[in-house]
Each structure stands twice: as structure tokens, then as C-alpha cells.
Amino acid sequence: MTLSHDTEAPASEVVLEAVGLTKHFPVRRNLRSLMSRTSSAVHAVDDVHLALRRGRVVALVGESGSGKSTVARLLAQLYPRTDGDIKLHGASTTVKGGRAFRQYATRVQMVFQDPFASLNPVHTIRYHLTRALRIHQHAGSDTAELERALHELLDRVALTPPERYLDKFPHELSGGQRQRVAIARALAANPEALLADEPVSMLDVSIRLGVLNLLRDLKERFNLAILYITHDIASARYFADETMVMYAGRMVEAGDSETVTQSPAHPYTRLLIDSAPDPDRIENMASDSTDRGNGEPPSLIHPPAGCRFHPRCPMAMPRCTTDLPTPIEIGDKPGHWAACWLYDEATVAAQPPGSAAATGAGGETAPQPATAAPSTGEAR
């Protein structure tokens, strides 16, 4: 039972692709602003590009509230998008409901973030799974076949023996068990793409490992394309082929998982990776446990101009406050890019990194970047 760094899956067909995906949630105003005419919106997701390929896992990490779940829901077509396009096998698709939506659902399935909320408290596990099977015509023609299909599903997510769980209500299951039921439901559709939104967040590490193993196995056996959203960057490193980082509704970095986690390019990614607890460097903790990650996440209603990370960025340059950074190829590994002006040589030459950095709260000094080309946070 291992998550081994397995051989690179052959670069394969794109199943689901997001092109310039954007979602703004209009916000209802309060009494005071009722009177003003401004209509505002939460810029939850802005201009996101992403491709899910057969047999590959894309991890999506980022701060909470950065729009990860929104991306997943947009991909599942549960929200109408504000802008951009979703392509299923290269064909632009927009489905709102009805038959088209159901057709889409058979191919793209989603596992919701919160297994406490995504299972209907009044229905048994049997009901949930039976419905999923029925809808996608995998229920077979008689009860025996249905029973077999149900057992097979639960077996797949390692809820064995199935009889022990089939007739339970969600509240009788532990968080981990629910998460597995949710996964099983998604699998019942036999989808091509699976959007898994923090599918293992509530589990202790050992169970978490089991579920990820399961997904990996399914991916390999059924050539599933998986979007794996998580806060656990380490698991992204182990589980995902590719990792993308979001900050305040925007993609800030993407690349091969190992590269992104071992040599993060974007200052936010670096902050993220540095913040991740690591028992192997306890010794160093005391010294730098205080000077990271200060500042609040930005308001998504009035996002900062330019790079959305600039108010918190220790290496912000004047340009960062005005110009939206474009994805820039880093060059260390193919496909690794970051949306950061630090990698625009012209900019760095004109404006020293950190020249526009906010002084940290409490007078803490921002960490000095060693070089313009950021070092990879190799384990100490």
C-alpha cells in the first residue's frame, strides 16, 4: 500500500478544459448601499485555464476562499459561468439543465467538498448509490444485478462489507466513510472526469492515504481524469501529476507537481510551501515561524489592482501594483509557469523586487529574496 512516484503517464487526450473561466457572484447590498447605485460582485474566479487529461490527476491548491471549489462547480456546470468556456473533448459545452445537463453529468462527476452536507440526511446510503446507478443506467435490470452493482461500488471505495453500510443513514457514518460514499456515488456514473473537491480533508492520515490510493488506482484502471482540490500540498505532491496554485480567484502558478512543490516560483506558492508544517525541520521553526504570511487575504469584491498578491508580497515591485501579471514560463521544467513579474526580466531590471512591498504588520521585515530567480525550497 504505497503511493509511489510512478512512471509518467503518457501525455494523453484532454477530457475537460477550462478556457478563461470566470465567475463573479453578484452580492446583494446592505441597507446603506441599497441607496447607492453601485452593484458589486465577488470576483471568485477570474480567467482560469486548466486542462484535465485522461489518466492524469491535476491538483488545485491555494488559500481558502481562492475559488477552488468554484472552479470545480463551474466545471461541473453547477454554476453558470460569467465568462470563458468549458470544453468537453474539445467541444464547447454549456448546459443549464434538463437532458443536456444530465448527459454532461454522466461524463463529468463531482465529489463535493463537505461530505456532511452533500449527502441527504433523510436517505440511506443505498438510496444515494442506487439513484446514481439508475440515472446512469448501471443499475442492471433486476434487483440482484442492482445489489451486485451496489456491492461492487462499495467494495471499490473499500467500505466493506457493503451490507454493513448500505442501510445506514449518513449521520451514522464517520466523516471518512461519508467521503468515500460521496466518491462512490460519483464513480457510479462511470465518468470520464472526476472533480474531487477536498475529498480527504476530514480523514486522519492513514485513512486519507487509503482513499488517495483508491483514486489513483481508479485513475489508472479506468483512465479517469481527476481534478484534486486540496489544502494538503504534500498529498498533492504525492498524488497529483500536475499542480496548479490559485490565489484570490486567479491561477498563479502551475506545473509538474514535484517541481511546483519542490521549487515553487510564485511568491505566494513559496509562502504556501514554506508555511506547510514539516516535522523534519522543527529545529528551524522557532526562528522563522513568525515572519511568514502576514496580511489578510484580499477582498474579492474589490480585488487589488495588478497582481492580486502584491499587497502581501515581500518582493512586490511598482509594476505589480498596476499590471496584471501574465503567465510566464519558468524554464526549469516544461510546463512550469507562474503569473509573476519577477520572471519578467525587463521588469526586474527596471524595478528592484521588494521595492513596492508592504512592510509587514508589526514591523516585521519581509524576507529578502536571495535572487530574482527564486530558489527552490529544498528540504533542509
Ligand X SMILES: Nc1ncnc2c1ncn2[C@@H]1O[C@H](COP(=O)(O)OP(=O)(O)OP(=O)(O)O)[C@@H](O)[C@H]1O
Q: Which residues bind ligand X (CB under 6 A)?
A: 25, 42, 44, 64-70, 113, 175, 300
The distance of closest approach from Cβ of residue 336 to ligand X in the complex, given in angstroms and rounded to an integer, is: 22
Going from the C-alpha of 34 to that of each of 19, 28, 39, 42, 134, the distances in angstroms are 35, 9, 9, 17, 47
- Find the binder of other proteins among 87, 131, 151, 333 (CB under 8 A): 131
The distance of closest approach from Cβ of residue 76 to other proteins in the complex, given in angstroms and rounded to an integer, is: 5
CA distance 253 to 259: 11
176 binds other proteins (CB under 8 A): yes
Record the cell numbers describing residue 40, joined without a space.
458589486
CA distance 2 to 5: 9
- Find the binder of other proteins among 59, 71, 109, 336 (CB under 8 A): 109
Record the cell numbers describing residue 26, joined without a space.
453578484
Annotate each residue in 279-318 with x if it binds other proteins (CB under 8 A) or - if it does not, as one string: xxxx--x---xx-xxx-xx---------------------
- How many residues make contact with Mg ion (CB under 5 A)? 2
Exposure pattern of 322-358 as b/e (b: 16+ CB <10 Å)?
eeebeebebeeeeebbbbbbbbbeebbeebebeebbe
Annotate each residue in 113-152 with x if it binds Mg ion (CB under 5 A) or - if it does not, as one string: x---------------------------------------
Cβ closest to ligand X, residue 140 vs residue 297 = 297
**Burial label, 2 (beta-carbon count in 10 A; 0-12, 13-18, 19+):** exposed
The distance of closest approach from Cβ of residue 177 to Mg ion in the complex, given in angstroms and rounded to an integer, is: 15
Check whether the bond before 26 is cis (ω within 30° of 0): no
Beta bridge partners of 25: 42
Find the part of the chain contacting other proteins (CB under 8 A) among 44-52, 102-110, 303-311, 329-337.
Answer: 102-110
Cβ closest to other proteins, residue 276 vs residue 372 = 276
**Burial label, 121 (beta-carbon count in 10 A; 0-12, 13-18, 19+):** exposed
The distance of closest approach from Cβ of residue 362 to ligand X in the complex, given in angstroms and rounded to an integer, is: 26
Cβ closest to other proteins, residue 323 vs residue 332 = 332
Q: Are 246 and 266 in contact (CB under 8 A)?
A: no
- Find the binder of other proteins among 7, 34, 287, 346 (CB under 8 A): 34
